[in-house]
Amino acid sequence: MITTQLREIALEQIEPSGTNPRKDFTSAAAVAYLQNLAGTIRTHGVLQPALVRLQYCVGEKTHAGIVAARRFEDGPQVRFVLVCGECRLRASALAERATLPCIVRELTDDDAREAQTIENLQRRDISPLEEAQGFADMLELRDDAGKPRYTVAALAERIGHAVGYVYKRCELLKLPDTAKAALADGKLTAKVAQLITVLPTPDLRERFTTEILRPEFEEGPLSYSSAMRVRTEKFTVPLAGAPFKLTDAELLPAAGACAACPKMSGNLGEEWENGERGRRKGDKLCLDPTCHRAKLAALLQRQTAAEVAKGKTLLSEAETAAIYPPEFVDGLMAPESRFAEIGHKPEPHLLKKEVVKPPTWSRLIEDAEEKTGAKLPRFLARDQGHVVRELVDVKAAMALIEKAGEPIFRGSDGPRPAADAAWKAEQKAAKERAALARTVALAQLDAVGENVDAGPALRWLAPLLAREVRTPAGALLLCQRHGKDYAGDDGVKAFADLAALAKKLAAGGEPPAVARFVVEAALADALGAPVPPTDDTAELCAAYGLDPSVIAKAAKAKAKAAATPPKPAKLTLAEIETKVRELRRAKTSDAEIRTALKLGKGALAKLLKKIDGEEAAATATNDPKILKQWVMARAGGMSDKEIARSYKVSVADVAGALGTGDKPARPPKKAKATKAKTVRQKKGGAK
């Protein structure tokens, strides 16, 4: 066996390696590095020898094979293959050196690859992808017996990194090409890229990469926290509380049980980020939403198979989402849905006033079907909590029930629209009455607050406060206004203080300042109540010598004035023109301008013609070419009116741009002929 040798070898005897992990020798940065290294070699020589192997070692997988292929040769005809030191070889050629100091060893192919990879991993400028490829190459190496030279743990110990670090770096090789390019260009960090590698299928990784690099609602690429949020929302599904058993392998045989699925975060081991903490907190996250949806569909088919066999209709996923919106809480239907759950009672707004305790839809429909012999279709849908609900069409159910002789619904014994209109009008009037009563009560409390120093009358205030203020926010605000700080309190302490004050007030002997405080407490109470106690406030006014009816009348008049919007003042022609110009600049259509300003089509057209003419004239007079054409036209005998007509502008604009009025440079030809004829006529007459 040839031992390790250190010798000077001619450059032409050394062949570059085809397995060198470093490929970039032509970029600007690489060329600059080689030039600097060549300068150092000219001055100091090669300080660290390169590593080469003999030509007969190439292609051998074992050391026994090398021994069999060994040839004892010497001289310039011997060929060496470079293992490590290609930069030194290239820089020596640039420095015009004839030889390179080298260490000669007998190395198998895997020995050479191991040495090359380890040297490459020690570079300072190595990229995450190069490092990942280096780790993968090391894990592929085999010994003479054909067994792997390294496990992940052994490799981590060999290079001085944690096991999780090696594992995550190797996972970067699963990235889509777009993600690898972004990582190489610096648009994507290794930390964000590792979020992509966790997803189990190439399709999911490609979609997630697109979400990171080209997000829909913000500028990309996304930060780590934003990418984590997107992955959680769109590419993972919590399995805690799933409607199916995680150990059920028969639900979707092609996917198997979730408990043993490699797409569940808890089964990924070191692949799942954050190590042990990630496995504890994320052990029930499904990383394949498509598979999860398929399992939910299979579960729904299993749950409804028997009911569908009885003739009930299973609604589609889109129809179900319209009935039970995902953003609502479990079991809550959309208000505009045409369906109702058969086990619920009809909504109050569907029933007549006299129907107080109606039966369920199920009871009503069953009775109607028995009387009429008809059969009402049933539908099946799954709510947000994956509970299967039985539904009926509300209008069809109401028609069947009325046909069976049960006129319990609004409008069933008369024109329904009129009944609904009356009911709505009654509700509106009730709201208006309550709002007016509230306004009156608050006005009366305000009046008492302004006159509270006029007399004690505290016996009327005590019952108001003794009921306690109904809103924590009102009590808290009131106490804060009087210099008491309840930072972080929810109003409970403020309630306690007000209750203590009420007891003290009931005992009597409090000064007017306390009375004012109590009135404000009553006001806060009224602000938090749907309808303040008007009887109490009226008595309170009377106790202070105020006329509650006068206050009520003034409050009602003020409320009526506030409810009646003032008529808009008429715009002058100049204001209308200004508005039209503003709307035109905002690219508002002519129809919208007519509607907004209540203009007729003809009036608007006339106004727009004027505006467009002025704008055209302004544009024309700012254009030197147009001005030159106007000057030449006037010099050619055209009047300002003719110029204005030709260029579709006003005469005033032409005159203003060219100076004073019509002064053609020469008179028209027709005028010259007329003048000559007149002279001749005068001469003839003189003779």
Q: What is the pLDDT of residue 673?
A: 46
Q: What is the pLDDT of residue 269?
A: 62
Q: How far apart are CA 391 and CA 368, in angstroms?
A: 16
Q: Does 628 score more than 90 pLDDT? A: no
| Higher-pLDDT residue of 379, 293 | 379
CA 45 centroid distance within chain? 60
Query: Which of 182-196, 534-548, 605-619 bottoms out in mean pLDDT, i.e. has the lowest?
Result: 534-548
Return all residues near 479 (Cβ < 8 A) that are at least 6 apart.
486, 494, 497, 498
Confidence band, pLDDT 50/70/90 cuts, at residue 303: confident
Q: What is the pLDDT of residue 99?
A: 92
User: Which residue bears the tokens 């005897």?
Assistant: 13
Strands 339-341 and 388-393, by their bridges, are antiparallel
| Higher-pLDDT residue of 269, 9 | 9
| Higher-pLDDT residue of 45, 144 | 45
Query: For residue 52, what is the enclosing H or E element?
Result: strand 50-54
User: Taking residues 500-520, what's their average pLDDT?
Assistant: 54
Residue 365 Rama label (left phi>0; alpha psi -120 to 50; beta): alpha
Q: What is the pLDDT of residue 339?
A: 93
Q: What is the pLDDT of residue 392?
A: 93
| Higher-pLDDT residue of 635, 500 | 635
Confidence band, pLDDT 50/70/90 cuts, at residue 149: confident
Strands 50-54 and 99-105, by their bridges, are parallel
Query: Which of 64-78, 130-144, 528-542 bottoms out in mean pLDDT, i.e. has the lowest?
Result: 528-542
User: Taking residues 195-214, what's their average pLDDT?
Assistant: 88
Q: What is the pLDDT of residue 648?
A: 73
User: Taking residues 145-166, what's their average pLDDT?
Assistant: 83
Q: What is the pLDDT of residue 377?
A: 92
Helix axes 190-197 and 163-171, enclosed angle (nearest 10): 80
- Most distant pair of Cα atoms in the chain: their distance: 147
Mean pLDDT score of the chain, rounded to an integer?
77
Radius of gyration of the chain (CA): 47
Q: Does 455 score more than 60 pLDDT? A: no
Please name which of 339, 638, 622, 170 lies closest in space to residue 630, comparing C-alpha atoms: 638
Q: Does 479 score more than 60 pLDDT? A: no
| Higher-pLDDT residue of 428, 280 | 428
- Count how many Cα atoms sit within 13 Å of the Cα of residue 54 in the half-sphere of its side chain: 21
